[in-house]
Amino acid sequence: MKLVRSTKTRLLFHLGHRETQLLLQILKLYPRVPPAHSQLTRSGRIPDQEANQRLLDEALAEQRAENRKQLLTLLADPRRFVRTKTAGRLSLPPGEVEWLLQVLNDIRVGSWLLLGAPEEKLPELSETTAPNFVAMEMAGYFQMHLLEALQKEA
């Protein structure tokens, strides 16, 4: 993934054929963080915790649904995402780059949680763990390139 052009209103990225395929496959995984992962508090010391937790869960579900809808719109828009036989092109305003970073972070963190949230040593790769490891690493790869582009743009 390479930043080709950067203006105040738009960043244009070139992706190789494999990168394009990987990005599309990774984005299909959204949302990845399990809904039960987000809790108001771990201490349980807030009034009406159960009702407030339900409100948080509903708000997060709505946000995920909206992000999913926005993601599908982005990928279907030929002005923002173009796919050819040999490459891909992604054109985004800076605000959408930040939004895409959040989507990729959900995929990266969710994949890490599915791996058991390892701190130092990753689990042995198997048919079960390898897809989560690849998703985590590739989401991080795309995040890194998007962050570099935002730093150049600033």
Q: Is 39 part of any domain? A: no
Mean pLDDT of the chain: 91
Q: Is 101 part of any domain? A: yes
pLDDT above 90 coverage of the chain, percent: 74
Of 9 and 42, the structure prediction assigns the larger pLDDT to 9
47-65: average pLDDT: 86
Best-predicted range by mean pLDDT among 30-39, 43-52, 85-94?
85-94
Could you tell me whether strands 87-92 and 2-6 are parallel, antiparallel, or unpaired per DSSP bridges? unpaired
Expressed in percent and rounded to 5, the helix, strand and coil fractions of the chain are: 55, 15, 30
Q: Which of 41, 68, 69 is nearest to 56 (CA)?
A: 41
Q: Is 107 part of any domain? A: yes
126: phi > 0 → left, psi -120 to 50 → alpha, else beta; which? beta
Q: Is 108 part of any domain? A: yes
Q: Is 109 part of any domain? A: yes
3-state secondary structure of 89: strand
Which structure tokens are listed for 145?
């390139």
Beta bridge partners of 11: 6, 92
4-26: average pLDDT: 95
Position 15 scores a pLDDT of 97
For the chain, how many structural domains are there in total? 1
| Euclidean distance between CA atoms 66 and 62, whole angstroms | 6
Q: Is 27 part of any domain? A: yes
Match 């948080």 to its residue by tokens.
56
Cβ-based burial of 104 (10 A; exposed 0-12, middle 13-18, buried ≥19):
buried
Q: Is 85 part of any domain? A: yes
Beta bridge partners of 3: 13
Q: 10 is in which domain, residue-wise?
A: 2-34+80-153
Which structure tokens are listed for 57?
């869960």
Q: Is 68 part of any domain? A: no
| pLDDT tens digit sequence for 85-134 | 899 999 999 999 999 999 999 999 999 999 999 998 888 999 999 999 99
